[in-house]
Amino acid sequence: MKPPTELAEAFRARGLKVTPQRQLLFGLLDGNTSHPTAEGLFVEASAQMPGISLRTVYTTLTDLAEMGELQPVSCGAGAIRFDPNVDDHHHGVCDSCGNVTDAYVVGAESLIVEGLDGFTTNSASIVFRGQCAPCASSTDESTSNPIPNSQQQTPNTP
């Protein structure tokens, strides 16, 4: 994703207005590696701009995604996440805390795929599921768990 200043220009160039709501979201997304959901961004935005509506957050995120500045990421369950990292990359999802981590896969293009004869592939996305490092250590060790697995952001309850 471009930095906020350039996003403002890109919006104006498209005939879209640069509103305080949008600028706030530009800032919240800039350099954000947490793969936030619309709801999550709404909560953060509301802290700085009480009264902002969830609808506006969705609209802005959709605009950014259409401009290619944001990559929507479906992790298999729960809300869609929005990723300012538009590199060609994939994701690891922790089944305990729900955190999503960037994963760069080398050689994905040279995979041998059987069964898709005649299929024209436009994109491939890989989701790794498992346990992130903090969750693995906090459950492996029999010591008291400082993070009870249901208080972190977007916990999974399958």
Partner DNA sequence: TGCTCATCTACAACTCGTGCAAATTGCGCA
Partner DNA sequence: TGCGCAATTTGCACGAGTTGTAGATGAGCA
Interface residues toward DNA, by CB under 7 A: 11-12, 15-22, 37-39, 49, 51-56, 58-60, 62, 78-80
Q: Do residues 70 and 17 make contact, with C-beta atoms less than 8 angstroms apart? A: no
Count of Cβ atoms closer than 10 Å to residue 57 Cβ: 27
Q: How far is the CB of 52 from DNA (least distance, A)?
A: 4
Q: How far is the CB of 158 from DNA (least distance, A)?
A: 8
Q: How far is the CB of 90 from its own copies (least distance, A)?
A: 8
Give the interface segment with Mn ion, choosing from 13-21, 43-51, 99-107, 150-158 (CB under 5 A).
99-107
With a CB cutoff of 8 Å and minimum separation 6, the contacts of 99 are: 34, 93, 132, 152, 153, 154
Q: How far is the CB of 33 from its own copies (least distance, A)?
A: 10
Taking the C-alpha atoms of residue 158 and residue 156, their distance in angstroms, rounded to an integer, is 6
Among 102, 125, 126, 137, binds Mn ion (CB under 5 A): 102
Q: Which two tokens stand for residue 72?
A: 């929507």
DSSP SS3 for 20 = helix
Contacts with its own copies by CB under 8 A lie at: 74, 76-77, 89-90, 92, 94-95, 101-108, 111-133, 136
